[in-house]
């Protein structure tokens, strides 16, 4: 005979635990603060494709703040699952290191910080090698469109799907990658960050093509990442992201002046001081 579920048990199953709400609230608060700081740091800067990145120190700090703003909301389920496992270990009187959750988040940010360094070096190297030939009036418009189209194509590759699967399965990741202690938590954060980077690096490249110093395009890319990772309809999320990227590629290539929020170089945009 099937076991019946009482109304009280159903309520307990459907109620979100207070600790989970606190975890989400802390991450979302940090993201809100990071969005505010990003807005302040980017004020008055060139927000179009090929935006000047400034000095390495300026860009690096801005990039880390940007990643906090863009990635923390979609990373919240993974962090919450890690905290949940830690709570279960504590209830069973197992070893639990204080600050392990913070180390997990730090490892995650470490990967994205390293990605920012590589992106900075890549953009600087491209500017040195390409010179004026990659300017918007020359080949820059088509380079930007090509990056957006490449990001769309990456959406349907097996590597993208494999990385997205890991990002969308917090319980599986935590159980198969568990390491004890703060060092172990840092290593887990790095590993999760690596999967996340594999999932989202092309979308970040698309951000550079649209304007890495644009708060509006930051919000668009962050929304696409959240749609893919958080919505229960995975295929719909990936398909929607692919369509958006293809549409942006076509718009940048053939009608950039009509792409909403796109600051077309040479059309009255401001330069960074």
Mind listing the pLDDT tens digit for each residue in 59-114? Answer: 999 999 999 999 999 999 999 999 988 888 788 877 778 889 999 999 999 999 99
Going by pLDDT thresholds of 50, 70 and 90, the confidence category of residue 16 is: low
Asked whether residue 272 is domain-assigned, the answer is no
Q: Give the number of domains in the chain.
A: 1
Q: 13-22, 76-85, 213-222: lowest mean pLDDT where? A: 13-22
Q: How many Cα atoms occupy the beta-carbon half-sphere of 1 within 13 Å?
A: 3
Domain range enclosing 212: 18-258
Asked whether residue 122 is domain-assigned, the answer is yes
Asked whether residue 270 is domain-assigned, the answer is no
Assess whether pLDDT exceeds 60 at residue 271.
no
CB neighbours of 196 closer than 8 A, spacing ≥ 6?
71, 75, 108, 111, 112, 163, 167
C-alpha 62/C-alpha 68 separation (Å) is: 10
């Amino acid at each position: 005979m099937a076991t019946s579920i009482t109304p009280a048990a159903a309520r307990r199953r459907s109620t979100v635990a207070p600790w989970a709400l606190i975890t989400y609230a802390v991450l979302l608060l940090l993201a809100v603060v990071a969005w505010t700081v990003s807005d302040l740091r980017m004020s008055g800067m060139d927000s179009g494709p090929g935006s000047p990145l400034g000095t390495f120190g300026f860009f690096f700090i801005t990039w880390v703040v940007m990643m906090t703003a863009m990635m923390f909301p979609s990373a919240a389920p993974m962090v919450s699952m890690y905290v949940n496992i830690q709570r279960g270990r504590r209830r069973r009187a197992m070893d639990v290191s204080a600050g392990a959750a913070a180390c997990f988040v730090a490892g995650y940010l470490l990967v994205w910080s390293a990605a920012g360094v590589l992106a900075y070096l890549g953009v600087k190297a491209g500017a040195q090698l390409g010179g004026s030939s990659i300017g918007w009036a020359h080949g820059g418009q088509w380079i930007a469109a090509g990056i957006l189209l490449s990001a769309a194509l990456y959406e349907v590759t097996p590597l993208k799907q494999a990385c997205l699967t890991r990002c969308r399965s917090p319980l599986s990741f935590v159980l198969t990658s568990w390491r004890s202690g703060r060092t172990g938590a840092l290593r887990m954060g790095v590993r999760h960050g690596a999967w996340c980077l594999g999932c989202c690096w092309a979308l970040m490249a698309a951000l550079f093509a649209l304007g890495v110093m644009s708060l509006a395009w930051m919000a668009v890319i962050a929304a696409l990442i959240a749609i893919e990772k958080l919505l229960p309809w995975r295929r719909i999320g990936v398909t929607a992201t692919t369509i958006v990227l293809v549409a942006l590629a076509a718009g940048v290539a053939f009608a950039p002046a009509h792409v909403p929020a796109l600051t077309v170089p040479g059309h009255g945009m401001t330069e960074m001081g």
